[in-house]
Amino acid sequence: MLKGKTVLLGVTGGIAAYKAAALASALVKQHAQVDVVMTKNATEFITPLTFEHLTARKAYTETFDRFTANEVEHIALADRADLVIVAPATANVCAKIAHGLADDMLTTTLLACRCPRLIAPAMNTHMLQNPVTQDNLALLEKYGWTVIPPATGRLACGDVGPGKLPEPETILQYILRELALPHDLTGKRILVTAGPTQEPLDPVRYLSNHSSGKMGYAIARMAMLRGAEVTLVSGRTALEPPPFVETVPVVTAEDMFEAVTARAEKADWIIKAAAVADYTPAEVAENKLKKKEGDLSIPLKRTRDILLWLGQHRRPGQLLAGFSMESEHVLENSRAKLTKKNADMICANDLRQAGAGFRVDTNILTLITAEDSRELPLLSKEEAALAVLDRLLELEKSEQEKRAVSS
């Protein structure tokens, strides 16, 4: 996701410097070009050669190296960086950056950077909690730095508390949020539903479906990466919640109805990708239903239709999209659903098509609106999610143009 991007990785002199090697490797796996700049103290913990092997690029430590007679190295590094991440950042380096001091290769380069800047402090708990350090971190945020909160755990000195460098995967997610995709959805508040609902029969059993939640989670993550403020209302799944997304866990269809309707008014877009039960047991047994001779009949009652309610109560300018998984008459049933539910778009797929069913990493969607139907090829769910967001953005711009002409 970082192909064509250049990340400047600053490494300072703390024991957590070894984790910076894993971060550099993770960035390379995302196809980023990684320039590593180290303080002199950092080279006491890990060698420049380690980073040079991982990135296939020179690691920088000397302030007065030059590319050519007319190009100063630290300025050239700053100019070509799409993002800066300092990890780990010692208390000393945090203080120097906050106050504009530039007395080595790293701080000199950082002072010249105009791109997004992230910093991951790592130090002893008492050093971190010292008011001076807290003031310096606040000052960095004031000047536009994103401060990644330290993790809590056992530190190298033996203390237990906040101050650990977060795992490289966590830091990578901060970088992806900044760089992976254009932020064309900044300012949008998007509500997404995902996963199955579970309708209890008794304390042991429930009725559900095969939804994994992968499609809804992909939509939530891609919307976040494009700058949106995302709320994900999710049934129970085996998936990790997307980072930087407010995740609201629910169990039953009624739980999801309450969670969605309580948040619908504030959403600019609502994308209902959850597989919500249409029926729920009329009564839930207090004790486990025991096995008996003969057949068992379970009376069911209708659940409340979330998409229908949203279509009936939508505010002006709000976009509403639903999903429709069918096994026959896909287009006819989905277009009828579009009209009945007063939605802007239905994302339809055919359960019988290979690659479009439950619990797979791909999907084949047809995006149905009042204007047209667009068939998408077999895509990863992340690619399909981007296509859904693109189409909603088109619909929003079209509506805005119509309003502008009519006014």
Which are the catalytic amino acids? 157
H or E segment and range at residue 329: none
H or E segment and range at residue 399: helix 381-406
The Cα-based distances of 262 to 217, 226, 279 in angstroms read 20, 25, 22
Among the listed residues 361, 396, 380, 39, the one whose alpha carbon sits nearest the alpha carbon of residue 213: 361
Q: The sheet that has 345-350: what strands, in order across it?
A: 246-249, 229-234, 189-194, 269-272, 319-326, 345-350, 366-368, 373-375
Q: What residue type is 49 in one-letter code? A: L
Please classify residue 299 by burial: count the beta carbons closer than 10 Å to its beta carbon, then call 0-12 exposed, 13-18 middle and 19+ buried.
exposed
Q: Quickly list DSSP for 184-221.
A: TTTT-EEEEEESB--EESSSS-EE-----SHHHHHHHH
H or E segment and range at residue 173: helix 168-179
Q: How many CB atoms lie within 10 A of CB 364?
A: 18
- The answer to whether residues 121 and 141 touch, using CB atoms and an 8 Å cutoff, is no
**Cα gap 88→12, rounded to integer Å:** 6
Token reading at 148: 């990644």
